[in-house]
Structure 1
Amino acid sequence: MHLSHALTHRGTVREINEDAFLELPHLGIWVVADGMGGHAAGDVASQLVIDGIQQAVEHLKPENITLDMLKQSLLKSNHALQQMSEQELEGKVAGSTVVVLWIYQDSYHLLWVGDSRIYLLRDQQMNQVTKDHSQVNDMVDEGLLLPEEAESHPLANVITRAVGVDNTLDIDHRTDKVKVGDVFLLCSDGLNKELNDIEIERTIKSGNIIDSGLALLHASLVRNARDNVTCILVKNTQVNKSLVDDNDKTIPVFTY
């Protein structure tokens, strides 16, 4: 059984919300996509990625879903965005980052492109389980930049991969065992631009997934949320539905 809670907000600066998300707990699938700011049709791009995954899996039973199926959906979205760029946008780029979490039986699977993130809180310790496809992250890997300098660097907004940008799409993936009590956070970079990992971890530890999600969004808005902010919290539990605390059930998302 998986509990989840999703929230999205356009922030205090952007006129539209270019983030999109998918929440399918009955299939064990959650997705966050972030349309590329400053490019054409970022909101259309992110929603196209989300719709592609939903259409690929919504008619299936959990046991019929495969990792390759999810990858193929992203590849199809990449091709569709390339066509849209050529035929409707006069060659202007329409792109999106994406992070996908799929939990099935005793394993979790991650797919990602770009700098949206997935964190895992396990045994009261949080770690980022995706790796940003960004210019500053490459510089950190090459020893040219310290990790603590990355967020404030002038190139912090430059990503090196996105759905829809190139003819070929390089998708990273990770598979590992899932444990009862694991809490995953999927988020667009609008969240981690405003809150550092220590603050995020402290907030997730402080309450159930609904309280934690609301607190994360509130904290980012208090700091003027320069970008759109989207987060999904997913808790893996084997507790019987009838025994679940009413305060920790999935509730509808709200948007502004």
Structure 2
Amino acid sequence: MHLSHALTHRGTVREINEDAYLELPHLGVWVVADGMGGHAAGDVASQLVIDGIQQAVEHLEAETITLEVLKKSLIDSNRILQQMSEHDFDGKVAGTTVVVLWLYQDKYHLLWVGDSRIYLMRDQQMKQMTKDHSQVNDMIDEGLLSPEEAETHPLANVITRAVGVDTQLDIDYRTDKVKDGDVFLLCSDGLNKELNDIEIERTIKSGNIIDSGLALLHASLVRNARDNVTCILVKNSHKNINIIDDSDKTIPIFSHI
């Protein structure tokens, strides 16, 4: 059984929301796409990727979805966006990041391009499962920056991969066994720009997926959410779960100190 809760907000600065998401728990598929700010039609690009995956899987049974179906959808969207850039946007790039979570039987599958992220909370410990395709992450790998320095680096917003940018789409992929009680967080970088991993982990630990999702969004808005913010929380469970939490747990809300 898969429970999920998705939220998106344009933030307090941006005029439009260039994020888009897909939530198909009955098929075990969730997607977040973040249109590239400062480029042409980022909102069009992110929605096109979302629509492409939905159209690719919505007529299928869960057992007939494959990794190749998901990859082909992203490759097709990449080609369409390149054509749109040439013919509809005067050569300006229309691009988007994307993260995909696919749960089937006892496995999870992650696909991603760009710097949107997927985290996994397992046994009360959270880990980032995707690796940002970004300029600062490359610099961290080369030993030129520490993770802490990367957060405030001038190139922090520069990504090295996106759907719609290059003729060849390089998609990263990861798979492993999923456990009962695992909680996945898919998010655009508007969330992790405002909250660090410790704060995100603490919030997810503090409540059910609905309360935690609302708290994450609220905390980012309290900090003036400079970018669009989207998050999807997905819980894998073999039990019948009451997602309305009657406990007295307090969800931490973060603000400037």
Instruction: Report TM bin, short chain.
Output: over 0.9
**Cα distance in 1 between the residues matched to 2:52 and 2:13:** 29
**1:251 equivalent in structure 2:** none
Paired residue for 1:254? none
* Unaligned 5+ runs, structure 1: 249-256
Deviation, 1:246, is 4.6
Q: Name 2:178's counterpart in structure 1.
A: 178
Deviations 1:46-87 (A, max 9, x none): 000000000000000000000011000000000000000001
What is the 5 A alignment of 1:96-175? Answer: 96-175=96-175
Query: For residue 130 of structure 1, what is the amino acid of its counterpart?
Result: T
Q: Secondary structure at the match of 1:77?
A: helix
Secondary structure in structure 1 of the residue aligned to 2:27: coil
Amino acid at match of 1:247: I
Structure 2 SS opposite 1:97: strand
TM-fit CA distance, 1:151 = 1.1
- 1:130-177 Cα offsets, whole Å, 9 max, x none, are 000000000000000001111110000000000000111000000000
State the SS of the aligned residue for 1:247.
Answer: coil
Shift, 1:245, TM fit: 1.2
**How far did 1:12 drift?**
0.1
SS of the residue aligned with 1:130?
Answer: coil
Query: Within the alignment, does 1:225 sit opposite 2:225 as a pair?
Result: yes
TM-score for both structures, normalised by structure 1: 0.95
Shift >6 Å, 4+ stretches:
none
The letter of the residue matching 2:144 is L
> What SS does the corresponding residue of 2:179 show, helix, strand or coil?
coil
Q: Aligned partners of 2:242 and 2:10: how far apart in 1?
A: 30
| Contact 2:134–2:160 (Cα < 8 Å) also in 1 | yes
Alpha carbon RMSD of aligned pairs, Å? 0.6
Distance 2:234 2:188 in 1: 15
Corresponding residue number in structure 1 for 2:244: 247
Deviations 1:24-54 (CA, angstroms, capped at 9, x unpaired): 0000000000000000000000000000000
Partner of 2:255: none
1:150 alignment partner, SS class: helix
1:1-256 matched pairs, under 5 angstroms: 1-240=1-240, 244-247=241-244
Unmatched runs of 5 consecutive residues or more in structure 2: 246-257
Q: Distance in 2 between matches of 1:245 and 1:107?
A: 24
Equivalenced residues, count: 245
State the alpha-carbon separation in 1 of the partners of residues 5 and 46 from structure 2: 19
Q: CA deviation at 1:247?
A: 1.1
Quick one: percent identity of the two aligned structures?
85
State which drifts further: 92-101 or 142-151. 142-151
